[in-house]
Amino acid sequence: MILLSITENIHNWLFSVMPAEVASIVEMVLIAVVYLTVFAVAGLFLVLLERRVAAWFQLRIGPNRVGYQGLLQTMADAIKLLTKELVGTDRADKFLYNLAPYFVIITALMALAVIPFSQEFHAFDINIGIFFLIAISSIGVIGILLGGWSSNNKFAMIGAMRSGVQTISYELSVGLSLLTMVVITGTLQLSEIIEIQKSGWLIVQGHIPAVIAFMVFMISGTAETNRAPFDMVEAESELGAGFHTEYSGMKFAYFFLAEFINMFIIAAIAATVFFGGWLSPFGITESIPELGVFWFLIKTMVLVFLMMWFRWTFPRLRVDQLLTLEWKYLLPINLVNIVLMAVLVWLNLTIRL
Amino acid sequence: MSYFSDIYEGIKTLLTGMSVTGKYFITSRKGAITQQYPDNRETLKMFDRFRGEVIMPHNEDNEHRCTGCQKCEIACPNGTIEIIWDRGIDEETGKKKKKIDQFVYHLSMCTMCGLCIDVCPTDAIEWGQNFENSVYDRTTLTRVLNEPNSKLMPGVED
């Protein structure tokens, strides 16, 4: 409520000092700045988290020198990258080469906009929320393809093509596993999906098919973000750094940050659709709506940790194994699962608390 | 019908792998392999097999076990060891006898191959575990391993 009253006050004050059109634009710019800040801070925090978690999985300690427990490490890295020279390649397609990082970053930001952080902190609540998310998350691959294509580098090219194959394949599973949940909710709007979960999180409401859908979503979501064990796109041991081999300095940092933000987005979608978003477990803090952000972030971080756990446990798949997993296993399972869910909803077998 | 058993096996093996790394994650705070080196300088003990440098141990009476046979000098592939020896009168028997004056060891040339230590018939030299060997002047890497006024431990030659 405090958050709401602050935003309300800013809104009223803006509309009182300037004409309505100007005030609307100023508001939009302010929100964009807030989201950019969230983007940068969350990205840097996730990079640090990844490094520490990776270290703990490998019985190391990880960066702990810059700031308390290494909290400023990624900040220092970002400043270092900002000051570095942007080295391009000869005969690269300069326009596309420079454009590619922004594609990746803008799609990540657009996806971030529709995610409900709490009841009030929700920039863009459209009625086709999930559809929008699925659509936007597949545009990100265009940035990767452009970056790989325009670099004039064979490693980058192979990496980008692999990314195309992978994303087009796994897009299906992401979409279908979310649609399985839409069968229960009957709506695509994210705020309404959370409203429905006040009578039990969807993973409880949909029990067996929901658990299957969640597993499929986590697997294909990991593949969507091009993270290990599906990091065919970067594959350090085969392709140098994959599609961003030729990028340096801040442009590289954009790709790097966008990768981590995408991981956050996948985890946030899973938290929203399967685990009730900003709802507290069993409604224990229903009277304090400010804690919504806290619960949302807790759930998202647990899922982010799960994805990091995948990354530091499983070996990388071959391309044919990758496609076998999608087309022979995940997709048929998903199609059966969606029918199962429909039957469940039809016979009213969902669990409602 | 291996399709479903494949899925079952796949999930089972993935969970097995995750449980292994999960155990590592939980115990990592206690069992971290990383040494936070300059901080734990006082307590850091290198393992016995570490090859840091060649040393010549002396006992409390300032006696070493080197007879000056020069086998190490011959064995060394890159001239790291230089033995400066002399003939002196042995106190007990009164005969002239070969003994070392200076056992010169050039750490800057040593490749830590260990041939000198393997070949030594009296175990006079062995591996030291010191690894902080960086210096500003490389002449300080040339060391004399026997202490001044040290002499051969009695009974080594028998």
| Chain A residue closest in CA terms to B8 | A329
The answer as to whether B39 is a domain residue is: no
pLDDT in tens, B41-95: 888 888 888 998 899 998 888 888 888 888 999 999 998 999 998 887 777 777 7
Closest of A99, A112, A104, A103 to residue A39, by C-alpha: A112
Report long-range pairs for A247-251 (Cβ below 8 Å, ≥24 apart). Answer: A247/A101, A247/A147, A247/A151, A248/A84, A248/A85, A248/A86, A248/A87, A249/A81, A249/A82, A249/A84, A249/A85, A249/A86, A249/A87, A250/A81, A250/A82, A250/A84, A250/A86, A251/A86, A251/A98, A251/A101
Instruction: Name the one residue in this structure whose structure tokens are 């935003």.
Output: A7
Mutation site, A49, A50, A51, A56, interface B, largest B CB count within 10 A: A56
Range of the domain at B122: 53-152
User: DSSP string covering B17-45, please?
Assistant: HHHHHHHHHHHHHHH-----GGGGTTT--
Q: Are residues A327 and A253 in the same domain?
A: yes
Q: Are residues A208 and A253 in the same domain?
A: yes
Number of domains in chain A: 2
Q: Are residues B22 and B72 in the same domain?
A: no
Closest of A137, A43, A34, A30 to residue A81, by C-alpha: A43
B53, B130 contact by CB (below 8 A): yes
The answer as to whether A286 is a domain residue is: yes
Residue B23 has pLDDT above 70, yes or no: yes
Range of the domain at A62: 1-83
How many Å apart are CA A294 and CA A117, to the nearest integer?
9
Instruction: Name the one residue in this structure whose structure tokens are 């901080």.
Output: B39
How many Å apart are CA B69 and CA B98, to the nearest integer?
8
The answer as to whether B41 is a domain residue is: no
Q: Are residues B27 and B66 in the same domain?
A: no
Largest interatomic CA distance in chain B: 94
Q: Are residues B27 and B57 in the same domain?
A: no
The answer as to whether B115 is a domain residue is: yes
| B100 phi, psi to nearest 5 deg | -80, 145
Q: Identify the pLDDT of residue A335.
A: 92
Beta-bridge partner residues of B104? B82, B144
How many Å apart are CA A50 and CA A55, to the nearest integer?
8
The answer as to whether B45 is a domain residue is: no
Q: Identify the pLDDT of residue B115.
A: 93
Distance from CA of B100 to the nearest CA of A (A): 48
A316-to-A223, A259, A260, A310, B21 alpha-carbon distances in Å: 11, 17, 18, 11, 16
| A292 phi, psi to nearest 5 deg | -55, -45
Q: Identify the pLDDT of residue A254.
A: 85
Q: Are residues A69 and A205 in the same domain?
A: no
Strands B151-152 vs B63-64: parallel, antiparallel or unpaired: parallel
Q: Are residues A174 and A220 in the same domain?
A: yes
Local structure of residue A326 (DSSP, 8 states): I
CB-based contact (8 Å) between A319 and chain B?
A: no
The answer as to whether A134 is a domain residue is: yes
Q: Are residues B18 and B81 in the same domain?
A: no
User: CB-side exposure of A96: number of CA atoms within 13 Å?
Assistant: 14
Distance from CA of A321 to the nearest CA of B (A): 13
The answer as to whether A18 is a domain residue is: yes
Q: Are residues B60 and B125 in the same domain?
A: yes
The answer as to whether B141 is a domain residue is: yes
Question: What would you report as the CA-atom Rg of chain B, rounded to the nearest whole angstrom?
Answer: 26
Q: Are residues A77 and A95 in the same domain?
A: no
How many Å apart are CA A198 and CA A193, to the nearest integer?
9
The answer as to whether B47 is a domain residue is: no
The answer as to whether A71 is a domain residue is: yes
Q: Are residues B135 and B94 in the same domain?
A: yes
CB-based contact (8 Å) between A312 and chain B?
A: yes
Q: Identify the pLDDT of residue A339.
A: 93
The answer as to whether B147 is a domain residue is: yes
Q: Are residues B84 and B25 in the same domain?
A: no
Distance from CA of B2 to the nearest CA of A (A): 12
Chain A residues closer than 8 Å to B34 by CB = 60-61
Say whether A59 and B18 touch across the interface (CB within 8 A): no
Q: Are residues A109 and A187 in the same domain?
A: yes
CB-based contact (8 Å) between A327 and chain B?
A: no
Q: Are residues A151 and A4 in the same domain?
A: no
Q: Are residues B71 and B21 in the same domain?
A: no
Q: Are residues B76 and B143 in the same domain?
A: yes
Closest of A307, A322, A317, A312 to residue A263, by C-alpha: A307
Chain B residues closer than 8 Å to A329 by CB = 7
Say whether A56 and B25 touch across the interface (CB within 8 A): yes
- Report the residue from B17, B28, B36 with minimal CB separation from A59: B28
Q: Are residues A130 and A114 in the same domain?
A: yes
- Report the residue from A57, A310, A329 with minimal CB separation from B24: A57
Residue B131 has pLDDT above 90, yes or no: no
**Boundary residue ending a domain (A83, A103, A120):** A83
Q: ω before A229 within 30° of 0 (cis)?
A: yes
The answer as to whether A353 is a domain residue is: no
Residues 6 or more apart whose CB falls under 8 angstroms from that of A214 comprise: A177, A203, A270, A274
Q: Are residues A147 and A30 in the same domain?
A: no
Q: Tens of pLDDT along chain A (353 residues)? A: 566 677 778 778 887 888 888 888 888 888 888 888 888 888 888 889 888 888 888 888 888 888 888 888 888 888 888 888 888 777 878 888 888 888 888 888 888 888 888 777 777 788 888 888 888 888 888 888 888 888 888 888 888 888 888 888 888 889 899 999 888 888 888 888 888 888 888 888 888 888 999 999 999 988 888 887 888 777 777 777 778 888 888 888 888 888 888 889 999 999 988 888 888 787 777 777 777 888 888 899 999 999 889 888 888 888 888 888 888 888 999 999 999 999 988 888 887 77
A103, A73 contact by CB (below 8 A): no
Chain A residues closer than 8 Å to B14 by CB = 313-314
The answer as to whether A269 is a domain residue is: yes
A172, A326 contact by CB (below 8 A): yes
| A127 phi, psi to nearest 5 deg | -75, -10
Number of domains in chain B: 2
CA B79 to chain centre: 18
Q: Are residues A128 and A102 in the same domain?
A: yes
The answer as to whether B43 is a domain residue is: no
Q: Identify the pLDDT of residue A2.
A: 60
- Looking up residue B85, the CATH number of its domain turns out to be 3.30.70.3270
- Report the residue from B7, B17, B32 with minimal CB separation from A60: B32
Mutation site, A50, A57, A59, A328, interface B, largest B CB count within 10 A: A59
**Token duo for residue B141:** 């890497």
Say whether A309 and B18 touch across the interface (CB within 8 A): yes
Say whether B31 and A59 touch across the interface (CB within 8 A): yes
ipTM score of the complex? 0.76
Q: Are residues B24 and B98 in the same domain?
A: no
CA dihedral A197, A201, A202, A207 (to 10 degrees): -140
How many Å apart are CA A119 and CA A125, to the nearest integer?
11
Q: Identify the pLDDT of residue A123.
A: 75
Q: Are residues B67 and B145 in the same domain?
A: yes
A163-to-A36, A167, B102, B110, B158 alpha-carbon distances in Å: 26, 6, 67, 50, 75
Closest of A219, A230, A216 to residue A321, by C-alpha: A230
Chain A residues closer than 8 Å to B29 by CB = 56
Mean pLDDT of B7-26: 89
The answer as to whether A6 is a domain residue is: yes
- Report the residue from A57, A60, A309 with minimal CB separation from B33: A60
Q: Are residues A114 and A15 in the same domain?
A: no
Closest of A223, A228, A202, A224 to residue A214, by C-alpha: A202
Q: Are residues A180 and A319 in the same domain?
A: yes
